[in-house]
Amino acid sequence: MTSLPPDVYPWLATHLPGEPVTSVEPVRSGPAGAVFAVQTADRRCYLKVCAPPYAFEPGLTTRLAEWFPADIPEVVAADEPRRWLLLADAGETVKALSQADGDLGRWDGMLRRFAALQQAALPHRDALLQHGVADRRLAQLPALFEQISADTPALLVGKADGFSEADYARLRGFAPIVRRLCEQAAVYAVPETLHHDDFHAGNVALRDSHYRFFDWGESCWAHPFYSLVITLRYARYIFHAGPAQLDHLRDVYLACWLDYEPLPRLLELLTITHQLAALCRALTWWTVTPLVAPEYRAELRDSAPYWLLTFLNNTPLEA
């Protein structure tokens, strides 16, 4: 567990005036940073000390909370240079609630609210890109694919947990297909917007029917449908959702985009974006892994190859 920064108590006192801190307890730590529960006499907050690759998360979350206060946990304080983010407790996660009762019914509201947030974010593209959100629009993906596919050390070519020589040869010939997939997706009217590349029920809080979305450190500007892939995988492998449940969740989300395309075309588009979502996820890990703390690099070294193979084989919903 990452230790609590030694100068954090004066900072907390400054940003929680009149609320003496009674305890600060570790919650979790990992490549993205460390989270601590901050308890005062009146409430609980969560302090996230973001890892360097996620340095833009405190500022991004602050801006999203300003624009969409009903959809983001209250930002009590943020220190962008030190990568600290203090959020008010927004309730139990949808994951914890669903694990307690086995009910995935609340996921419908989660998906609808998230799609509404993605659509509301459309006017903020330039501000978010300037803030450091990665640009993975369809027009950028062919060049990004060329870059990642040329990085043989990162793809562990010829090594365990990486690309075999045969798969790598297939990958190197895949550039025309990447361009074609991007061109096909661009034909549809669904706009590119803010994509949460780790969107699942563990990163959504729920209280009094209000869903709030957090952990934005892996977000980018891309096709919105990419966000659905992680949620469907989570439902399948964490909650053992069957085909009918997965189809229901898919349809709930797609219904939010009917103003842009009719359902048959949205389903066509989804087959394309499911595959491209795996490429986007590979790019996330390819970008992050070299920059995380050394103790996490071995754990993550196969993440970019795994997702790029998932893209190559078009198996986005398979483990």
Q: Looking at the structure, do residues 79 and 128 belong to the same domain, yes or no?
A: no
Residue 23 CB coordination number (10 Å): 10
Q: Which tens digits make up the pLDDT trace of 267-288?
A: 999 999 999 999 999 999 999 9
pLDDT given for residue 249 in this prediction: 98
Domain boundary among 88, 107, 122: 88
Of 216, 77, 200, 207, the residue nearest 133 (C-alpha): 216
pLDDT given for residue 3 in this prediction: 79
Q: Are 13 and 28 in contact (CB under 8 A)?
A: no
The domain containing residue 37 runs over which residues?
Answer: 8-88
CATH number of the domain residue 256 falls in:
3.90.1200.10
Domain boundary among 69, 88, 107: 88
Q: Looking at the structure, do residues 68 and 143 belong to the same domain, yes or no?
A: no
Q: Which two tokens stand for residue 119?
A: 């659509």
For residues 14-18, average pLDDT:
94
Q: Which tens digits make up the pLDDT trace of 73-85?
A: 999 999 999 999 9
pLDDT given for residue 230 in this prediction: 94
pLDDT given for residue 219 in this prediction: 96
**1 in a domain, yes or no?**
no
Q: Looking at the structure, do residues 161 and 302 belong to the same domain, yes or no?
A: yes
Strands (DSSP E) contained in 31-100 are 33-40, 44-50, 75-79, 84-88, 92-93
How many Cα atoms within 13 Å fall on the side-chain side of residue 92? 10
Q: Looking at the structure, do residues 41 and 168 belong to the same domain, yes or no?
A: no
Q: Which two tokens stand for residue 209?
A: 């029917």
**197 in a domain, yes or no?**
yes
| Strand 219-222 relative to strand 193-196, pairing | antiparallel
pLDDT given for residue 227 in this prediction: 98
pLDDT given for residue 2 in this prediction: 66
Q: Which tens digits make up the pLDDT trace of 216-269?
A: 999 999 999 999 999 999 999 999 999 999 999 999 999 999 999 999 999 999
Q: Is the pLDDT of residue 139 over 60?
A: yes
**3 in a domain, yes or no?**
no
Average pLDDT, the chain: 96
Q: Looking at the structure, do residues 206 and 79 belong to the same domain, yes or no?
A: no
Q: Looking at the structure, do residues 266 and 199 belong to the same domain, yes or no?
A: yes
Q: Looking at the structure, do residues 168 and 240 belong to the same domain, yes or no?
A: yes
How many Cα atoms within 13 Å fall on the side-chain side of residue 203? 18
d(CA 56, CA 5): 19
Q: Looking at the structure, do residues 184 and 300 belong to the same domain, yes or no?
A: yes
Q: Is the pLDDT of residue 1 over 90?
A: no
Q: Looking at the structure, do residues 133 and 240 belong to the same domain, yes or no?
A: yes
Number of domains making up the chain:
2
Q: pTM of the entire structure?
A: 0.95
pLDDT given for residue 47 in this prediction: 98
Q: Which tens digits make up the pLDDT trace of 147-157?
A: 999 999 999 99
d(CA 39, CA 17): 13
Amino acid at 245: Q
d(CA 60, CA 55): 9
Q: Looking at the structure, do residues 57 and 141 belong to the same domain, yes or no?
A: no
